[in-house]
Copies of this chain bind each other. A is one copy, B any other.
């Protein structure tokens, strides 16, 4: 009767991005859902939206922790919207909620999230995002990256 918590995988990256990055994010989202994990992200556009869309295509569960206080700010692929109302500080909640994280190349928001992964010993798989630690697992294939994150999340539990 107690909860069997599915692993939660965070996907981080820019809120506006190229088509190539969107395709990668979508594949990551699909893989997360297909493997029985849940997705957490920042709930807005770009990589966040593409990853959530991918997860919904495979019937997954998507959590979006948004900076503002209006649920309508979230993209339409988010099942559970957490309107944090605490602005950028919500980035820390995304990382804490994730059992492992996949990073796509982003700017300073992504960098601060990656730094926070390192600080909190959250397993981090990177597809050509910032190079700030040897502990980051670098992969080029989005599907392999998502699978590796799920493996690390399960191992951690």
A92 within 8 A of B: yes
**Would A84 and B77 count as touching, CB distance under 8 A?**
no
The majority secondary structure among interface residues of chain A is mixed
Residue contacts A-B, CB under 8 angstroms, 15 given: A3-B76, A5-B78, A5-B79, A6-B79, A63-B80, A82-B97, A83-B93, A84-B96, A85-B89, A85-B96, A108-B118, A108-B119, A108-B133, A112-B115, A112-B119
Q: A111 interface residue, CB < 8 Å from B?
A: yes
- Distance in angstroms from A64 CB to nearest chain B CB is 9
The answer to whether A84 and B76 have CB atoms under 8 Å apart is no
A48 CB to closest chain B CB (Å) equals 13
8 A-B pairs with least C-beta separation: A112-B115, A89-B89, A108-B119, A2-B76, A86-B86, A111-B115, A85-B87, A83-B96
Question: CA–CA, A108 to B121, complex, Å?
Answer: 11
Inter-chain CA distance A112–B69, complex, in Å, is 18
